[in-house]
Amino acid sequence: MQIAIIGAGISGLLCAYRLAEEFEVSIFERENYPGGLCSSVSFDNLQIEKYNHFFSRYDKEIIRVINELGLSGSLSWKKARQGSIIDGKFFDMSRPLSLFGLPGINIFERMRFAAFLVKASIANDGLRFNQQTARVWVEGNCTKNVFERYFKPLLEFKFQNYGDVSAGYLWARIKEGKRNDIGALSGGMGVLLESLMDKIRGRGAKIILGKTIKRIERTLENKWRLYDNESFEEFDCVLCCISLKETVRLCNEELKNILNIPDADYLNAGSYILKLKRPLRQGYWLFVNHKERGLSNVIIDASSVTGNNIVYCRVYRRTGSITERDREKIFNNCLSALRNINPDFDQTWIEKKMFHADNLVEPVLTNEFIDQLFSGGGRVEGFYLPEAMYERHLLKTVNTQAEKAKLIFRMIMERNSNESSNTG
């Protein structure tokens, strides 16, 4: 069986890693480098992830792959600390009791808030929350005030227009458990990408970089044609390891109708990477700057992982790409957040800075979109679309991509054995 994979991001590579053991696999990547959102950039003589990635102890499948590849020695676990800047003041949120020091809510609200977080963390099935929006869910279980002060800034940070975001999204974020013990690869995701590429090539698969797939067609014999301009190659199966929006653009009307790909809004993301002359704080920190002027932002001090004083300041946009004008505002917001985190900070601490942005990084999880996923949109024999698959977890993370790669491998093995027994 000949299999084509579109996209050599972590999803395409994880699928190829499994499939290349059994089948003939070709991966097509439009950039001259692999990794997509997990790729690295050269920054002041460092090779550094453009968006920093970390794992939680619950990310079982990707941890299994890391171990399989012999990289367990590169995966280190750190106690992450979390800080929030609320009304311009810094709060260390790492301790379980920090909730009780939060300003602006009364004792009754604190208790409901704590009970809500515990209940959400132990719930195993977030689907039952999907009938509500995040706002309705929090307001019903905590209070309107708790939502306004603590959840709204976070949802606004990510989605701006958050009114239709599913409670399932918030549940999955709370459940993710990335607040305390977090795992990161020393050397960054580049270490994992390189090892996967070696294994994939070792298993005989072709990784074709710098080749954009422009069109996909299904033939009458149920083969799949991938066009790069006017020339094409034919395959038995195709895996589209790219966003649903990009997938739709590659299909003609007929294929679009057959596939019935779920429609979603997408987020665009951007990140400043700053190299500081001295540490912002000791340890690995996630800082949430609640809306002070303009949008809230999240700042990650990755110094203890990168070995340098590296700080990431990420932003998301639900509509429109991140523009030059946005960048200035993002940078100024970032400076004010850094001053709140460490009052000694001033701009002369910044040795180097760099900005990146990517479009279509993840679908917005609305109830409508999740319903479309469950109803099986985007699934047709021989065509696999990880983004349209729901495999227990709702969020788009490296671990969920690993889970989906395993699932697709099983589906293709099953299809292959059915075909073999039919022809036999």
Ligand X SMILES: Cc1cc2nc3c(=O)[nH]c(=O)nc-3n(C[C@H](O)[C@H](O)[C@H](O)COP(=O)(O)OP(=O)(O)OC[C@H]3O[C@@H](n4cnc5c(N)ncnc54)[C@H](O)[C@@H]3O)c2cc1C
Which residues contact ligand X by CB under 6 A?
A: 6-12, 28-31, 36-38, 51, 53-54, 212-213, 241-242, 246, 269, 271, 314, 361, 396-399, 401
Whichever of 102 and 232 has its CB closer to ligand X, that residue is 232
Whichever of 236 and 403 has its CB closer to ligand X, that residue is 403
Contact 53, 43 (CB under 8 A): no
Paired residues of 61 in beta bridges: none
Q: Using CB atoms within 10 A of its CB, is residue 391 exposed (0-12), middle (13-18) or buried (19+)?
A: middle
Beta strands in 87-185 (DSSP E): 89-92, 181-185
State in angstroms the smallest separation of the CB of 85 from ligand X: 20
Whichever of 361 and 370 has its CB closer to ligand X, that residue is 361
Helix (H) / strand (E) element for 399: namely helix 398-423
State in angstroms the smallest separation of the CB of 196 from ligand X: 11
State in angstroms the smallest separation of the CB of 361 from ligand X: 4
Whichever of 36 and 153 has its CB closer to ligand X, that residue is 36
Contact 301, 293 (CB under 8 A): no
Q: Using CB atoms within 10 A of its CB, is residue 107 exposed (0-12), middle (13-18) or buried (19+)?
A: exposed
Whichever of 242 and 280 has its CB closer to ligand X, that residue is 242
Contact 420, 9 (CB under 8 A): no
State in angstroms the smallest separation of the CB of 61 from ligand X: 11
The per-residue DSSP string of 242-264 comes to S-HHHHHHHB-HHHHHHH-PPP-
Paired residues of 411 in beta bridges: none
State in angstroms the smallest separation of the CB of 107 from ligand X: 35
Whichever of 147 and 369 has its CB closer to ligand X, that residue is 369
Whichever of 398 and 412 has its CB closer to ligand X, that residue is 398
3-state secondary structure of 330: helix
Nearest to 37 by CA among 227, 248, 188: 188
Distances (CA, A) of 423 to 222, 351, 353, 360: 16, 65, 60, 42
Helix (H) / strand (E) element for 25: namely strand 24-29
Whichever of 58 and 90 has its CB closer to ligand X, that residue is 58
State in angstroms the smallest separation of the CB of 50 from ligand X: 8
Paired residues of 90 in beta bridges: 85
Cβ atoms within 10 A of the Cβ of 329, count?
A: 14
State in angstroms the smallest separation of the CB of 132 from ligand X: 25
Which residues fall within 8 angstroms of residue 399, CB to CB, at 6 or more apart? 55, 58, 59, 60, 61, 62, 63, 393
State in angstroms the smallest separation of the CB of 415 from ligand X: 22
Number of H helices, E strands in the chain: 14, 19
**What is the Cα–Cα distance from 57 to 377, expressed in whole angstroms?**
31
Whichever of 120 and 300 has its CB closer to ligand X, that residue is 300
State in angstroms the smallest separation of the CB of 325 from ligand X: 20
Whichever of 54 and 272 has its CB closer to ligand X, that residue is 54
Contact 419, 276 (CB under 8 A): no
State in angstroms the smallest separation of the CB of 126 from ligand X: 17
CA atoms within 13 A on the CB side of 266: 18
